[in-house]
């Protein structure tokens, strides 16, 4: 562990300018701050990050999964500390989710260089490709590829138009076979730290400047298809219909009921499509995608069974055929005790208030933790809002997080 040099300061104006430059890259005509990974603009954001990495004196590279890396050589023999987050957003999302951790990582490197600090470790800044879930239900595509958790079956996932994920990736210049081969060699990486906005109300409610993440939620996503029969809305008697829309709607309520059982369990019905989608036609087909989250794998598995049973029950009461497909379950992930305790000491040493907490949001850190001791720092989100245009974190809170991150790199060295 190296002592903190006196001149080590994070430049708030640079952090603000970088956040604003990235946030300005949005898809025209879409709500909020939309920069989806499979859309036309995210690539510009990642190219901009790569340019900033070069300007900051990092050696840049891109792997087969589209992850952008910037390496600052240390004085040692190539052992590394990894730090970063993502630049893509959800549809209609906010300004801070993801980019705070990328801008913060870059600023940490600049601050260390300007203070004349040379770490023994190489510092590797990563902008992970495609963290947010796509229309195929897959998230954390870049970090998943890095830990070898992507298979050919993932690439054959289909969207509503029966397009494969492989085709969608190729359309944004990510070669599907290169992605499958993008497993990262973590043998010389000693730790990974991700800075992120909290995206929930806990830090604000507890008056804490920093959250020390202890574990990240497990997630189970599904696609349910309901097939009934189209009929005339005015003449088909109610007791003779095979209404796929009603069966799907009953399943939406089952998601809410099942996830309502626990304190930290969650269930969300994010996408529902009716066909033929006409006001005077009984729905013949419904496609429904949603997810369950919680801190315990056992609960997730039993909730999967309960939801599958509920969907079949809703279907069979109405003569509707039902198919429920679950993506591979993403287990809840503990952060490394060692890294979390270093982060806690650093935050205390800086005089920042902190709370340990559980993350109900998903993060690249959950994937990277499979390969490397990992920790996360959260900064507060106003009113706990996120994945919406109202998402906000005050600059001084972001700067506190970047300062903690910078000092954490010194402490982990």
Binding site for ligand GLV (CB under 6 A): 132, 361-362
Q: Which residues are 153's β-sheet partners?
A: none
Closest contact distance (angstroms) between CB of 222 and ligand GLV is 15
Q: Say if residue 190 carries a ligand binding annotation.
A: no
Closest contact distance (angstroms) between CB of 267 and Mn ion is 17
Intra-chain end-to-end CA distance of the chain, in Å: 5
Burial label for 28, CB within 10 Å (0-12, 13-18, 19+), is exposed
| CA pair distance 378, 380, nearest whole angstrom | 7
Contacts with Mn ion, residue ranges (CB under 5 A):
97-98, 361-362
Q: Closest CB to ligand GLV among 236 and 329?
A: 329
Closest contact distance (angstroms) between CB of 179 and ligand GLV is 20
Closest contact distance (angstroms) between CB of 54 and ligand GLV is 28
303 binds, among ligand GLV, Mn ion, none (CB under 5 to 8 A by kind): none
Q: Closest CB to ligand GLV among 103 and 111?
A: 103
Closest contact distance (angstroms) between CB of 243 and Mn ion is 34
Q: Say if residue 184 carries a ligand binding annotation.
A: no
CB 296 within 8 A of CB 277: no
Q: Say if residue 35 carries a ligand binding annotation.
A: no
Q: Say if residue 196 carries a ligand binding annotation.
A: yes
Q: Say if residue 46 carries a ligand binding annotation.
A: no
Q: Closest CB to Mn ion among 104 and 245?
A: 104
Residue 125 sits at φ, ψ, to 5 deg, of -90, 135
Element (H, E) at 22: helix 12-23
CB 203 within 8 A of CB 380: yes
For 260-296, where are the alpha helices, taking DSSP H only?
none
Q: Say if residue 71 carries a ligand binding annotation.
A: no
CA atoms within 13 A on the CB side of 4: 17
| CA pair distance 324, 157, nearest whole angstrom | 14
Annotated binding site for allantoate: 221, 280, 293
Annotation: binding site: 86, 97, 132, 196, 221, 280, 293, 387
């Amino acid at each position: 562990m190296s002592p903190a040099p006196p001149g080590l300061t994070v430049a708030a104006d640079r952090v603000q300018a970088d956040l604003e430059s990235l946030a300005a890259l949005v898809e025209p005509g879409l709500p909020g701050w939309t920069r989806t990974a499979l859309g036309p603009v995210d690539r510009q954001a990642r190219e901009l990050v790569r340019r900033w990495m070069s300007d900051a004196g990092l050696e840049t590279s891109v792997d087969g999964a589209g992850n952008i890396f910037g390496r600052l050589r240390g004085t040692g023999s190539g052992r590394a500390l990894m730090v970063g987050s993502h630049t893509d957003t959800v549809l209609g999302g906010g300004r801070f989710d993801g980019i705070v951790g990328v801008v913060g990582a870059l600023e940490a490197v600049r601050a260390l260089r300007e203070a004349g600090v040379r770490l023994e470790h190489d510092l590797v800044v990563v902008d992970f490709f495609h963290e947010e879930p796509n229309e195929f239900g897959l998230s954390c595509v870049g970090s998943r590829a890095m830990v070898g958790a992507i298979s050919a079956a993932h690439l054959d996932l289909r969207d509503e138009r029966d397009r494969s994920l492989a085709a969608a990736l190729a359309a944004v210049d990510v070669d599907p076979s290169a992605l499958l081969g993008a497993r990262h060699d973590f043998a010389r990486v000693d730790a990974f730290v991700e800075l992120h906005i909290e995206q929930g109300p806990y830090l604000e409610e507890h008056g804490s400047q920093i959250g020390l993440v202890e574990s990240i939620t497990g997630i189970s996503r599904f696609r349910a298809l309901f097939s009934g029969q189209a009929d005339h809305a005015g003449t088909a008697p109610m007791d003779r219909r095979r209404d796929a829309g009603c069966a799907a709607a009953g399943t939406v309520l089952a998601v809410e009921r099942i996830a309502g059982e626990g304190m930290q369990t969650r269930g969300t019905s994010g996408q529902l499509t009716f066909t033929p989608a006409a006001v005077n036609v009984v729905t013949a087909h419904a496609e429904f995608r949603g997810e369950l989250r919680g801190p315990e794998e056992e609960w997730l598995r039993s909730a999967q069974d309960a939801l599958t049973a509920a969907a079949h029950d809703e279907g069979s009461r109405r003569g509707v055929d039902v198919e429920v497909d679950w993506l591979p379950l993403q287990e809840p992930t503990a952060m490394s005790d060692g890294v979390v305790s270093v982060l806690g000491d650093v935050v205390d040493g800086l005089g920042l208030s902190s709370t340990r907490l559980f993350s109900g949001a998903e993060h690249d850190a959950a994937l990277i933790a499979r390969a490397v001791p990992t920790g996360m720092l959260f900064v507060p989100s106003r009113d706990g809002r996120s994945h919406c245009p109202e998402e906000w974190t005050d600059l001084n809170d972001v700067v506190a997080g970047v300062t903690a991150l910078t000092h954490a790199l010194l402490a982990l060295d």
